[in-house]
Each structure stands twice: as structure tokens, then as C-alpha cells.
């Protein structure tokens, strides 16, 4: 794909952009970026037509030379678009006026407005994904580092927000890692295989190009380095649906990480804290606060994703005949917003995980809040072969009730029951109530996640301190 000459400069900065337009993806979906993508499509179309012998080569060169976003005003074109229903019509007029001599008559040859806008949209998606994937992979690499470093760091697993069993922070980070890697793989596959040019002319037949239509289409795709579709896809919006789905998947993975960090950062939990320097996470009224601003901002960005995906799915499924009447136009803002939201969430999660402070001592202290009771399942599982599951469960439940009442520790309560001591001595009971001894396949799962990450292109290294 030929690089654009403009269109990815930093945003001027809106009131909410510091939170909701984080990272380089936001710059790839600005009006200027869109405008350059449309012009890149026009330039590629001219070169393709020249290769097919439809226009002189010097005409194509003159058109391509004029296709610079800085030479046009997006706001003016947007205002003029009200007369025709899309911004390509006024853009073609302005571009034609900017091309000197006879070459001006070769602008937009064979195309309709939707061809240029759809192809431009695919260019915007491709360029946005390149930026987004950088942050998504950076977040995954930060998660991999946490998984390696904290492979053995104990903390309570929580189900329905209640302590359930012991686990490791390494396994929690490995869960983030796998989800982020899977999301990145999906988006990379979309970038490589799904994005295609659009060229069908007024009604999807390329009638104005005569017998050269499919040849121009092939050259057009080649010029832009994108796929050549089997047919024009003016009202077959499966590509848009796939892009929406891939971005939705990434948004969900990022939202999960953000939500976990917010919960782990609660004062009463205090197992992680965001770094990032002095002044980070401050409050307008409470000087003592250290809010998890990166995780909160990532959650805010990801929170927009479901609605934007739904908007794209609705428009894609309601296309009329050979050209959508409002449904195609309904895609433009949601697609732009979706790219910006997911890209911003990825940038925030990367920032969050790269600067995350982990408090292993607090994790262990929280694990000890429930103490031995957290290992009751371990005792039940050990007694089950001898007593049967229900009998073992009832015995351990009886001991747990005693421990919860505060009369005895769970170890002591278990030692008071003949049905338990017939099979377990005090030393064995104590060992069963050690949280480090009831982690199942946690370490193996961390290693599997790190190995999969390495196979996907991450750096080598399994297991911390091994």
C-alpha cells in the first residue's frame, strides 16, 4: 500500500480528546486523514486507468500530484456535501479544478462516489489498524511481563466479586495476555485479508469502462496494495461487519483488563496501583486521591464500543438494492468513532500495564482475610475418594461452620472430627490448608500463555525465576 502524503498529523485537541482520543490511532481517523485517503483512492484510480490504457499516463501523474490533503479544506467540502449527500462529489469538483490542462478531464474515470469513499474507508481502517495494533501488542507485552514476574505471586481468585480460591497474579495477567493476543491476531488477519478496494461504477457494472472494467479493478487493487473483491460490494457490507466485529472483540478484551485494574485498585483491595509520575490520578477536591486514571479512561473508551458496533451492524444489514439509501451514509461516523474508541482504549491499557505497581504483600494479606476457609474445597477433594463427595462435603461444611463462628480454626475444627482424622493427620490437614499447595495448573497455564505469546511474535522467556 502506498503511504499517504498527509493525514496522520496530531489532532488539534478537543475538550475530551485527552481522555477519549489517546494515542496514534486517533490521528489516523481525523478529517485530514479521511481526506487524504479519498485522494489516495483517486490517485490510484487514475494510475490504474492509465495502466489499462483508458487515460494517458501523464494525466495520471498530474492527478496524483494534485492529490494532497493540505490543498483542500475538509470543512468546506463537508458543507458542500449537503447538496449531494456525500463529500466525494464536491471533492471531485475541487480536484478537477486543481488538475491542470487536459488531465482534468481524466479525474474520477469510471468511478462513482461510493467507490472512492468505500475505498478511502478501507485505507483509513488499514492505517488505523497499524497504529492500533502497535498499542494492542504493547499492552500484551506488558501483560506478558507481569505474568512472568508474578507467576508465583499469590492472591485470591474472585468469583461474583467474592474470594473463591487461591490463584496467582501471574495467571490473572496471563488471562489478559491471551485475550489481547487473540484480539491482535484477529485484527491483523482482517488487515491482511478482509480490506478490499471498491470499484463498481454507478450501478455495480462498471459499464462506463466497457470491456476494461475488471482490468482497471485489478490494477486499482494492486496500486493500493489491497484485495480485489470478486464483485463490487456497494450493498454487501460483510467487510464492514467483520471490521466491526474485530474491533468489538478488541474492545471487549481491553475493557476486561481495565475493569480488573479498577477493582484491584480500590482502597479496600489495594493490590495494584498505577504509576506514571507525579500528579497522575489526582482529584479536583481530594488531595490524597490516586485514581487509576489510565484504567478508568480505557474503560470509558471501551464503553463506547458496543453501541458503535451495533450501529454498524444495523446499517450493514439494511442496504437497499444496488445502493443504500441512508444506510451506507450511516456507517461513516460509527466507523470513525469505533476506530478511535478502540485505539484509545488500547493506548490507555498499554500505559496502564507498562506502569502498573503490584503489591504482592497486600495480595497475600487479602488472601489471609478468609484464611483457611479458602482451602475447604482442597480438603473435600482429598477426602472424597475415601468418603464419597457428599459425605466429604458435609464433614468439611461442619468444620467450616465451626471456624466461621470463631470458636476454632478450620484446622482445629477438622481435627475434632473423627471422620476426618481417620484419613488425615494434623500435618496433612495443615498442608492441605496452605494456599500455595492448591494452585492446580496455574503455573502450567501461565507458561502456556507465555509460549503462545512467543509463538505469536512476542519475545522469548517462560517463567520468572526458573
Q: How far apart are CA 13 and CA 451, in angstroms?
A: 41
Q: Which residue has the cell 470513525?
A: 336
Q: By the 8 A CB rule, do 69 and 27 touch?
A: no
Give which of 75, 144, 65 is closest to 107, Cα–Cα: 65
Beta bridge partners of 128: none
Rounded (10°) CA dihedral 424, 427, 432, 437:
-140
Q: How far apart are CA 393 and CA 377, in angstroms?
A: 8
Q: How far apart are CA 78 and CA 304, in angstroms?
A: 25
Instruction: Tell me which DSSP letter residue 226 carries.
Output: -
Q: By the 8 A CB rule, do 216 and 46 touch?
A: no
Q: Give CA 158 to chain center in angstroms.
A: 24
Burial class (CB in 10 A: 0-12, 13-18, 19+), 236: middle
Burial class (CB in 10 A: 0-12, 13-18, 19+), 357: exposed
Query: In this structure, what C-alpha cell is assigned to residue 122?
Result: 478501507
Query: In 3-state terms, what secondary structure has residue 447?
Result: helix
Catalytic residues: 283, 323
Instruction: Collect all residues with Cβ–Cβ distance below 8 Å to 67 and sequence separation of at least 6.
Output: 5, 39, 40, 42, 43, 95
Mark out the alpha helices in 67-112 (DSSP H runs): 74-80, 88-98
Q: By the 8 A CB rule, do 169 and 155 touch?
A: yes
Q: How far apart are CA 459 and CA 332, in angstroms?
A: 38
**SS3 string of 391-427?**
HHHHHHHHHHHHHHCCCCCHHHHHHCCHHHHCCCCHH
Q: By the 8 A CB rule, do 95 and 67 touch?
A: yes
R_g of the chain, CA atoms, integer Å = 29
Q: How far apart are CA 65 and CA 58, in angstroms?
A: 11
Amino acid at each position: 500500500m502506498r503511504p499517504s502524503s498527509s493525514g496522520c498529523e496530531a489532532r488539534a485537541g478537543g475538550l475530551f480528546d485527552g481522555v477519549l482520543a489517546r494515542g496514534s490511532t486517533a490521528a489516523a481517523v481525523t478529517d485530514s486523514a479521511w481526506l487524504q485517503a479519498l485522494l489516495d483512492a483517486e490517485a490510484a484510480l487514475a494510475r490504474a486507468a492509465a495502466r489499462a490504457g483508458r487515460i494517458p499516463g501523464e494525466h495520471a501523474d498530474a492527478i496524483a500530484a494534485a492529490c494532497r490533503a493540505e490543498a483542500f479544506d475538509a470543512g468546506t467540502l463537508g458543507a458542500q456535501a449537503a447538496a449531494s449527500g456525500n463529500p466525494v462529489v464536491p471533492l471531485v469538483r475541487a480536484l478537477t479544478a486543481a488538475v491542470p490542462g487536459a488531465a482534468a478531464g481524466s479525474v474520477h474515470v469510471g468511478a462513482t462516489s461510493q467507490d472512492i469513499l468505500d475505498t478511502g474507508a478501507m485505507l483509513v481502517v488499514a492505517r488505523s489498524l497499524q497504529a492500533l495494533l502497535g498499542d494492542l501488542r504493547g499492552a500484551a507485552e506488558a501483560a506478558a511481563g507481569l505474568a512472568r514476574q508474578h507467576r508465583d505471586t499469590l492472591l485470591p481468585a474472585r468469583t461474583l466479586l467474592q474470594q473463591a480460591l487461591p490463584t496467582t497474579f501471574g495467571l490473572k495477567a496471563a488471562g489478559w495476555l491471551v485475550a489481547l493476543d487473540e484480539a491482535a491476531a484477529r485484527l491483523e488477519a482482517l488487515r491482511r485479508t478482509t480490506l478490499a478496494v471498491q470499484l463498481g461504477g454507478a450501478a455495480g457494472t462498471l459499464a462506463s469502462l466497457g470491456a476494461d472494467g475488471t482490468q482497471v479493478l485489478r490494477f486499482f487493487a494492486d496500486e493500493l496494495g489491497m484485495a480485489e473483491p470478486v464483485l463490487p460490494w456497494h450493498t454487501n457490507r460483510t467487510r464492514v461487519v467483520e471490521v466491526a466485529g474485530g474491533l468489538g472483540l478488541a474492545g471487549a478484551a481491553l475493557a476486561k483488563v481495565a475493569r480488573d485494574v479498577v477493582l484491584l485498585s480500590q482502597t479496600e483491595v489495594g493490590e495494584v496501583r498505577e504509576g506514571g509520575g507525579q500528579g497522575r490520578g489526582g482529584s479536583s477536591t481530594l488531595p490524597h486521591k490516586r485514581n487509576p486514571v489510565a484504567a478508568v479512561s480505557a474503560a470509558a473508551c471501551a464503553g463506547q464500543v458496543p453501541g458503535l458496533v451495533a450501529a454498524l451492524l444495523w446499517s450493514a444489514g439494511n442496504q437497499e438494492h444496488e445502493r443504500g439509501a441512508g444506510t451506507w451514509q450511516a456507517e461513516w461516523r460509527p466507523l470513525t468513532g469505533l476506530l478511535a474508541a478502540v485505539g484509545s482504549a488500547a493506548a490507555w491499557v498499554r500505559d496502564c500495564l507498562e506502569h502498573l505497581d503490584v503489591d504482592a504483600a497486600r495480595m497475600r494479606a487479602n488472601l489471609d482475610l478468609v484464611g483457611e476457609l479458602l482451602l475447604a474445597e482442597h480438603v473435600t477433594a482429598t477426602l472424597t475418594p475415601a468418603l464419597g463427595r457428599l459425605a466429604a462435603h458435609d464433614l468439611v461444611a461442619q468444620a467450616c461452620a465451626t471456624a466461621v463462628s470463631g470458636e476454632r480454626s478450620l484446622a482445629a475444627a477438622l481435627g475434632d472430627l473423627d471422620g476426618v482424622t481417620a484419613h488425615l493427620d494434623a500435618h496433612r490437614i495443615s498442608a492441605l490448608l496452605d494456599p500455595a499447595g492448591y494452585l492446580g495448573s496455574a503455573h502450567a497455564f501461565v507458561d502456556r500463555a507465555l509460549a503462545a505469546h512467543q509463538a505469536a511474535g512476542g519475545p522469548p522467556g517462560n517463567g520468572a525465576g526458573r
